[in-house]
Amino acid sequence: MGEEPTAAAGRGAHSRAGRGGTPLWRHVRDDLKARLEQGEFTDSFPGENELAARYGVSRHTIREALRELREAGLVTAAKGRRPRPVGEAVIEQPVGALYSLFASVEAAGLEQRSIVRALDIRADAHVAVRLGLEESTPLLYLERIRLADGEPLAHDKVWLPASDARALLDADFTHTALYGELADRCGLRLVGGEERIKAVVPTAAEQRLLDLPDGVAAFSIERLGRTHGRTVEWRTTLVRGDRFSVVTRFDARTGYRLDPAGNRFTRSRRSARRLDAVR
């Protein structure tokens, strides 16, 4: 980051600006805007108290400047949370690991909350086939809007066999991890699976659901989760592309494992049957 202005420098600059009749918040806004455009604040963005001390102005002045920056689409902030530059990829998912979005959000220093849209038992023939079950098998269905620091991050839908997961009907998923509840309430732990991630252009309905600005893509994630010897989870997640990134490690011997044909998941590792036929 570049050199920060001192509180004394801020007081001097803004006292001169005050005599000229220009509102102090405009000078703060313009200075912050210039620094954002120069790529500063990549590690973190100062909070209101810190900015007020740096510029030698009141928190009200800082709030006015930040409000203008939010309206210009340069920063974003939820109530009670520190602002940050828009487009900052703060949440990372490791490739090749059984990750938890809950854990990934909190590891980034953000508060994870969810809006539960559905939690019930239902039948879904297509999903049941993906899980290797009879089409009429009862499934527990959980649908959530995942929030990070109060802002929409992902639209998450998961299906599990009701015979395994019925106890989850009593769980409060507004602030808890599915895999933790699955282990504690049902004695079921996932040990692996398969996941496909691709970039998509969200529909208008999906844009509204995730509060996505125009021109921002999303990640579509499909996951089959397995416990020992059987598949127990089918999950689809749509994640904002401006708040999420995928990371992996590679070496000269193994490199990456790619699937250029874009093949769909199979029922199990022992089956060669494609699932395209049931879509």
Q: What is the pLDDT along the chain (279 residues), one digit of tens a residue?
A: 444 444 334 443 443 445 457 889 999 999 998 888 777 876 567 888 889 999 999 989 998 998 888 777 677 655 555 666 655 545 655 665 556 676 677 666 777 889 999 999 999 999 999 999 999 999 999 999 998 888 898 999 999 999 999 999 999 999 888 989 999 999 999 988 898 989 999 999 999 999 888 888 999 999 999 998 899 999 999 999 887 777 666 666 666 555 544 444 444 433 333 333 333
- Domains of the chain in start order, with CATH, are 7-85 (1.10.10.10), 91-278 (3.40.1410.10)
Q: In this predicted model, what pLDDT tens digit does every residue of 41-53 receive, in sequence order?
A: 765 678 888 899 9
Give strand pairing partners of 125. Answer: none
Q: Long-range contacts: 90-95, Cβ < 8 Å, 24+?
A: 90/148, 90/243, 91/148, 91/153, 91/243, 91/244, 91/245, 92/244, 92/245, 92/246, 92/247, 93/244, 93/245, 93/246, 93/247, 94/247, 94/248, 95/246, 95/247, 95/248
Residue 261 CB neighbours (<10 A)? 6
Write down the H helix ranges in 72-168.
101-107, 125-130, 162-165
Of the candidates 228, 237, 206, the residue with the CA atom closest to the CA atom of residue 99: 237
